[in-house]
A and B are shown apart, each in its own frame.
Chain A
Amino acid sequence: MIEFTLWDILRNLLFAARWTVLLSVVAFIGGTVVGLAVLFARISEHKLWRRAAFGYIELFQGTPLLLQLFLIFFGLPQFGVQIEPWTAAALGLTFYASAYLAEIWRGGVEALPIGQWDAAAALGLRRWQELRLVILPQAFRITLGPTVGFLVQLIKATALASILGFEELVRTADALNNATFQPFRVYGFVAVIYFVLCFPLARFARRLEDKGPVRA
């Protein structure tokens, strides 16, 4: 039987935290890309696109993330698609993030006065130019606080990847707990590590929101 010192536990957890951070970053980037596509559909001029995007968002915000991950990780192999825990987690969290981010940004777009659209149209801009040059820069700016706030939610959400067997913080903690029988200490450390990751971001997000919408 190997003895685990306090430092052994902490070191293993800190190493595992890298994977939590990496998964969060990948999901945030993926979620931004897919989320933009969903946003464009959600604010499209065509009813069909708007409906489809609404359904997409409703689907991901109305079902548990855990089941979304299960469907990808356990469901896809049924169709002959083999998928690693890492890929399944990154994919599932990307979709999850995209739905939330699209909804946050849509709020920003809708918060803009209609005059912004009128002015952009009066300048003779095409729809795409209106969005790119006038609407989206302002929408992103006023939703910066909630966007950073969602990143906190996403970091916490990566903990569910442990259930698929991806070796991030919680999975490593489970293994350490089984080896050391010190659940109080192990999960306590894990909580502290998450807190250190999330709290500054949450503070930052709140400061951005308190400052209120920055005038473009």
Chain B
Amino acid sequence: MGSGLDFGWLLTGWRALVEGAGMTLWLTACSTVLGLAISVLGAAARRGRIGWLKATVGVYVEAIRNTPFIVQLFFIYFGLPSLGVNLNPVVAAIVAMTLNVGAYATEIVASGLAAVAVGQREAAEALGLKPRQVFVKVVLPQAMAVIFPALASQVVITMLDSAVVSQISVRELTMRANLIQSQTFRPFETFLIAAAIYLALSIALRRVLNRIAARYLGPGLT
């Protein structure tokens, strides 16, 4: 096998791959931050007492979780312009990824909130904290500690799924690899290197997230 492989293109191609990886991480970071914000609000609404809000969040979560990401992406990128909303590829990708993270993370955060004992909230209320303080200072941090592993793997999954946005010509890692192989006619080596970069990124991302968790969240509830 070895004789057939050629990695000479890496001499000139590495730059494009690095830029692509940078774009992949940027997309992942944006959608993670925005998606987490959505998920905290979504989870709070889902466990709250406002009926219509609860139902709306439920529909959003189920709609995203039960349709493929590529369909959501195409719907946003190709479909929305017919309603007069034109998005450039990068913005469309971030919107689609954010909505995706938001839905999956809403489920995760909601399960974390459910795992915090009722006594914690009651104790906080007894101390005279306002409802919002109870949520932000007492319940949410404990929930986060419990669900952090699930959230971390969701972030990694989001990074891997972002390969799909190459289909609306966002110049991330997969798109760059595709461009390179169309010039070098070396698809196997090119996609192999790209896959290796994704693998390294997902391992590194998991490490970084675990370190953040250890630093800020402390040991989870057991």
By a beta-carbon cutoff of 8 Å, the part of chain A in contact with chain B is 58-59, 62-68, 70-71, 74-76, 78-79, 152, 156-157, 159-160, 162-163, 170, 173-174, 177, 182-184, 187-188, 190-191, 194-195, 198-199, 202
B residues 58-86 with Cβ under 8 Å of A? 62-63, 65-72, 74-75, 78-83
B residues sitting closer than 8 Å to A (CB atoms) are: 1, 4, 62-63, 65-72, 74-75, 78-83, 156, 160-164, 166-167, 174, 177-178, 181, 186-188, 191-192, 194-195, 198-199, 202-203
Contact A190 B191, CB 8 Å, known A64-B198, A195-B63: no
With A67-B191, A78-B186, A191-B71 as known contacts, state yes or no: A62 contacts B198, CB within 8 Å: yes
> A62 CA to B70 CA in the complex, in Å?
19
Question: Which of B71, B161, B199, B203 has a CB less than 8 Å from the CB of A187?
Answer: B71
Chain A nearest CB, measured from B171 CB (Å): 15
Q: How far is A174 from B177 in the complex, measured between Cα atoms in Å?
A: 23
Of the listed residues B71, B162, B177, B187, the one surrounded by the most CB atoms of chain A closer than 10 A to its CB is: B71
Q: 20 other contacts beyond A64-B174, A156-B68, with CB at 8 A cut-off?
A: A62-B203, A63-B199, A64-B161, A64-B163, A67-B177, A71-B195, A74-B188, A78-B187, A156-B66, A159-B68, A159-B70, A173-B74, A174-B74, A183-B75, A183-B81, A184-B80, A187-B75, A195-B66, A199-B66, A202-B66
User: Once the chains bind, are A67 and B194 in contact (CB under 8 Å)?
Assistant: yes
- B187 and A177 within 8 A (CB): no
List of B residues within 8 angstroms of A152 by Cβ: 66
* Contact residues in B for A67 (Cβ distance below 8 Å): 163, 174, 177, 191, 194-195, 198
In the bound complex, CA of A59 to CA of B174 (Å): 17
- Nearest CB in chain B: distance from A120 CB, A: 30
Contact sample, A vs B, 13 pairs, CB 8 Å cutoff: A63-B160, A67-B163, A70-B191, A156-B67, A160-B70, A162-B70, A170-B70, A173-B71, A187-B71, A188-B75, A194-B66, A199-B62, A202-B65
Q: How many A-B residue pairs have CB under 8 A?
A: 125
Residue of A nearest to B69 (CB): A156
Instruction: Tell me which of A65, A159, A163 contacts B160 (CB under 8 A).
Output: A65
User: Is B163 in contact with A177, judged by CB distance below 8 angstroms?
Assistant: no
The minimal Cβ–Cβ distance linking B189 to chain A, given in whole angstroms, is 8
Q: Which residues of B contact A173 (CB under 8 A)?
A: 71, 74
In the complex with contacts A156-B69, A170-B71, A194-B71, A64-B160 CB distance below 8 A: yes
Q: Find out whether the CB atom of B78 lies under 8 angstroms from the CB atom of A177.
A: yes
Q: How far does the Cβ of B183 sit from chain A's closest Cβ, in whole Å?
A: 14
Q: Within the complex, which residue of A62, A156, A190 is in contact with B202, where a contact is CB–CB below 8 Å?
A: A62
Q: Shortest CB–CB separation between residue B215 and chain A, in angstroms?
A: 24
Q: In the complex where A66-B163, A177-B78, A184-B75 touch, is A71 in contact with B70 (Cβ < 8 A)? A: no
Asked if B192 contacts A66 (CB within 8 A), the reply is no
Which residues from B are CB-within-8-Å of A76?
188
Cα(A183)–Cα(B156), bound, Å: 30
Q: For A184, what are the chain B residues with a Cβ–Cβ distance below 8 Å?
A: 75, 79-80, 82-83
Q: What residues of B have a CB within 8 angstroms of the CB of A63 in the complex?
A: 160, 195, 198-199, 202
Are A74 and B191 in touch, CB under 8 angstroms? yes
Q: Which of B63, B74, B160, B161 meets A183, CB within 8 Å?
A: B74
Contact call A74/B66, Cβ cutoff below 8 A: no
Complexed CA–CA distance, A198 and B178 (Å): 31
A159 (CB) vs chain B CBs: closest residue: B68
> Which residue on chain A has the smallest CB distance to residue B83?
A184
List A contacts of B1 (CB < 8 A): 79
CB < 8 Å neighbour of A160 from B162, B164, B191, B194: B164
Determine the distance from Cα of A183 to Cα of B83 in the docked complex, in whole angstroms.
Answer: 10
Neighbouring B residues of A170 by C-beta, 8 Å: 68, 70-71, 74
* B164 in contact with A190 (CB, 8 Å): no
Q: Which residues of A contact B66 (CB under 8 A)?
A: 152, 156, 194-195, 198-199, 202
